Amino acid sequence: MKQVYDKVFNRYWSPYLAMALAGILSAVYFGITGTVWAVTGEFTRLGGHLLEWSGVDISDWAYFQLIHMNGTTFTRTDGWIVWGMFIGALIMILLSNSFKIRVPRQKRRLLQGLAGGFVAGFGARLALGCNLAAFFTGVPQFSLHSWIFIAATAIGTYLGTKLVNTSWWKGKPTLLKGNAAAPSAARKKIQPYVGAVLALAYAALIVYFYAAGKTMLGTAALFGAAFGILIERGQICFTSAFRDLWISGRAAMTKAIFVGMAVSSVATLIIILVNGMDPITKIAAPSTLIGGILFGIGIVMAGGCETGMMYRLMEGQVVFLPVFIGNIAGATALAYAWDHLGIFNAIVKPGKPINLITAMGPTGAIILTLALLAVGFGIAVYWQKNYRFGIGFKKGETKHVH
pLDDT at 392 over 70: no
**Cβ-count burial 77-106 (b if 16+ within 10 Å, e if not):** bbbbbbbbbbbbbbbbbbbbbbbeeeebee
What pTM was computed for the model? 0.90
Residue 243 pLDDT grade (very low, low, confident, very high; cuts 50, 70, 90):
confident
pLDDT at 17 over 80: yes
pLDDT, residue 322, reads: 96
Average pLDDT over residues 273-300: 96
DSSP class of 395: T
pLDDT digits (tens, 9 = 90+) for 177-224: 544 445 555 556 899 999 999 999 999 999 999 999 999 999 999 999
Cα–Cα distances (Å) from 392 to 128, 167, 397, 399, in that order, read 34, 19, 9, 9
Residue 400 pLDDT grade (very low, low, confident, very high; cuts 50, 70, 90):
very low
pLDDT digits (tens, 9 = 90+) for 132-157: 888 999 999 999 999 999 999 999 99
pLDDT digits (tens, 9 = 90+) for 88-103: 999 999 999 999 999 9
